[in-house]
Amino acid sequence: MSIILIVVILLLVILLVLGVPAALAMGLPALLYFFVKEIPLSTVMYSMYNQLNSFSLISVPMFILMGNLVNELGYTDDLFYFLKRVMRNKRGYSARLNVFISLIFSGISGVAIADIGGLGKMEVKAMEDEGYPRGYASALTIATATIGPVFPPSVPLLLFAMMAEVSSVRSLIAGVVPGIVMSIILLLGVMVLDKKYLASRPAKDSLGNIPPMQAFWGSFPTLIAAPSIVLLMMFGVFSPSETGALTVLFFLIAGLIQRRLNFQKILKCLKITFTVCASTLFVTAAGGVFSKVMVLENLPNVIITALFTVTESKVIILLLINLILLILGCFMTSTSALVLSIPIILPVTNALGIDPIHVGVIMTLNLMIGLITPPFGLSVFTVARIVDIPPEKVFKASVPLLIELLIALMFITFIPQLSLWLPNLMFGI
């Protein structure tokens, strides 16, 4: 490993620790490398262009815009109230509703923070009304929100597919079974924790004044869209990009028919989408430059050689990869962590003969778990701000849920067919 590469990596770490935005933390050390090596700066521009030159990337703004429309047009509220009326008067219904609605809403947003922002306050209030402590209600909300980025449509899985140069459709479908497995494990955990947390007092009626049929009519577009997104991609009717665009059009038409849509709401959704996409794509482009540095220095092969010198055990290497990703997920956003880690981890897993589609699910789940892991879990601070609770209480209550998610991670890591069975069934091996 050359001295300049060591300097570049150290500078990257220092900038990240100092809180410099990830795009600059990756881009500036890479520029330093090109200057020292006297490599034409046109290579930088080409690397950024090449990183973003992917048709699959079109689906990212489509799915983000779709999630914003669902939130802004009030479909999340109606979906919540409809499912709440269906499940009311059952012991622990609010905690189970938290899991179910996250699985359904994951088929719309594909982003953990969008799930928390759209439903978090309502989910926490419903659980509080039934007798759950606010800390546990908040912790369960962020735990169930990790399902969204694994279950299709998943923005992190789309980014992984683009950067790993694998099928975006197979990558998205690979998240179906793992998402269901996560939901089942969290539901089982809820049943166990009910004995500790659920108060004996009867639940309050916090359903508001929304009539059942009005709630059903309001939630109908979401109930139709969520399974349709998965089925359209599973059966190859549309690509992820086409599915995202079609679903955006669907919600625009539904909003017009139900008289929810106006020009101001469209502008607001577009503004949020542009902001999120700009930051995501900027990080992705900067990651392309840093990846070029790693390729020029042959860093992936150096790491593979070093790992195989220590151990050739697939189990140990996978555990090490999980540990590294969990640590990255604590300190970085999923986009930044994916861009930084894919060029390093993928060559290692390829050398072990692990399917990259399976690797994408493992990486995504690890980084989502990192969002609720102390000390810098982004989801924890998001829900703490929304429901007005100290983050420390959320961290404390999230420990048993973190264990449940780690159990799900072990199942998904060491049982590849959980990720590969459905895409292989639909599209062949």
Question: SS3 for 330?
Answer: helix
Residue 312, helix vs strand vs coil: coil
pLDDT of residue 238: 82
- How far apart CA 171 and CA 162 sit, in angstroms, is 10
Domain spans in the chain, listed from the N-terminal domain onward: 3-427
Has residue 73 got a pLDDT over 80? yes
List pLDDT tens digits, range 184-231: 999 999 888 887 877 555 555 555 566 777 778 878 888 888 788 878
CB contact burial 76-86 (16+ within 10 A = b; e otherwise): bbbbbbbbbee
Q: Of 217, 272, 214, which is closest to residue 72 (Cα–Cα)? A: 272
pTM for the whole structure: 0.82
Count helices and strands in the chain by DSSP H and E runs? 22, 0
For residue 101, what is the enclosing H or E element? helix 93-106
d(CA 293, CA 152): 32
Q: Residue 375 — pLDDT band, cuts 50, 70, 90?
A: low
> pLDDT for 401-416, tens place per residue?
999 999 999 999 999 9
Least trusted range by pLDDT, from 164-168, 271-275, 301-305: 301-305
The answer to whether 240 touches 168, Cβ cutoff 8 Å, is: yes
**Total residue count of the chain as it appears in this document:** 429
What is the overall mean pLDDT for the chain? 81
The pair of three-digit structure tokens given for residue 424, joined into one six-digit string: 């292989």
Give the tens place of pLDDT for each residue, 339-350: 888 888 888 899
pLDDT at residue number 304: 77
pLDDT tens for 348-366 read 899 889 999 999 999 999 9
Q: Tokens 């080409």 label which residue?
A: 46
Query: CA-CA distance, 9 to 29, in Å (whole number)?
Result: 8
Name the range with the highest mean pLDDT among 34-43, 152-161, 230-239, 355-364. Answer: 355-364
- The 3-state DSSP class for residue 261 equals coil
With residues binned 3-state (H G I as helix, E B as strand, rest as coil), the percentages for the chain, rounded to 5, are 80, 0, 20
CA diameter of the chain:
72
Residue 384: count of CB within 10 angstroms of its CB: 20
Residue appearing with tokens 């195989």: 308
Question: What is d(CA 278, CA 64) in angstroms, rounded to the nearest whole number?
Answer: 12
Q: Do the Cβ atoms of 177 and 421 come closer than 8 Å?
A: yes
DSSP letter string, 359-397: HHHHHHHHHHHHTTSTT--HHHHHHHHHHT--HHHHHHH
Summarised one tens digit per residue, pLDDT across range 115-125 is 565 567 777 88
- pLDDT band at residue 332, thresholds of 50, 70 and 90? confident
Alpha-carbon distances, residue 408 vs 346, 361, 372 (angstroms): 21, 12, 15
Please give the pLDDT value at position 109.
Answer: 47
- Spatial separation of the C-alpha atoms in residues 130 and 127, rounded to whole Å: 5
Per-residue pLDDT tens digits for 383-398: 777 777 888 888 888 8
For residue 40, whether the previous peptide bond is cis, meaning omega lies within 30 degrees of 0, is no
Assign residue 241 a region (left: φ > 0; alpha: ψ between -120 and 50; beta: otherwise): alpha
Dist CA 145 CA 116 (whole Å): 6
Run of H or E including 250: helix 240-257
Residue 110 has pLDDT above 50, yes or no: no
